[in-house]
């Protein structure tokens, strides 16, 4: 019985669209963006997401990972050294001078 009275009392209340007080309307704190504004920004976000995913898929399909790698580490004693790599599938020697 108490529950029914509470429900009826709540249904008769008027809920204001904007917060009370003139300062809330003046500074824009109580304004609600339009449906078109929200929908357009959601659509723009989804288009950017689709473009990023498409670019990543394109790069994944068109780029090959190297099959071989050569890592050379040196210190100051190696200053001025030139490394020439020959053989394998290289058409010409590769010069790795600093």
Query: Which positions ≥6 away from 25 have C-beta within 8 Å?
Result: 18, 31
> What is the reported pLDDT for 27?
53
Return d(Cα 16, Cα 30) in angstroms, integer: 11
Query: pTM for the full model?
Result: 0.43
How would you write the pLDDT of the chain (98 residues) with one tens digit per residue? 445 444 545 556 666 565 555 554 555 566 788 999 999 999 999 999 999 999 999 999 998 877 777 787 888 888 888 877 777 777 776 666 65
For residue 95, what are the β-bridge partners? 84
Residues 6+ apart with CB under 8 A from 97: 82, 83
Residue 1, pLDDT score: 46
pLDDT of residue 37: 93
Q: What is the pLDDT of residue 10?
A: 57
**52 token code pair:** 């990023």
């Amino acid at each position: 019985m108490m529950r029914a009275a509470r429900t009826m009392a709540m249904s008769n209340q008027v809920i204001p669209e904007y917060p009370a007080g003139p300062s809330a309307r003046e500074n824009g704190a109580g304004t609600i963006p339009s449906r078109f504004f929200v929908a357009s920004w959601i659509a723009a976000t989804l288009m950017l997401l689709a473009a990023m995913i498409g670019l990543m898929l394109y790069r994944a399909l068109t780029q090959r990972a190297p099959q071989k790698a050569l890592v050379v580490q040196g210190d100051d004693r190696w200053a001025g050294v030139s490394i020439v790599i020959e053989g394998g599938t290289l058409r010409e020697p590769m010069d790795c001078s600093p």
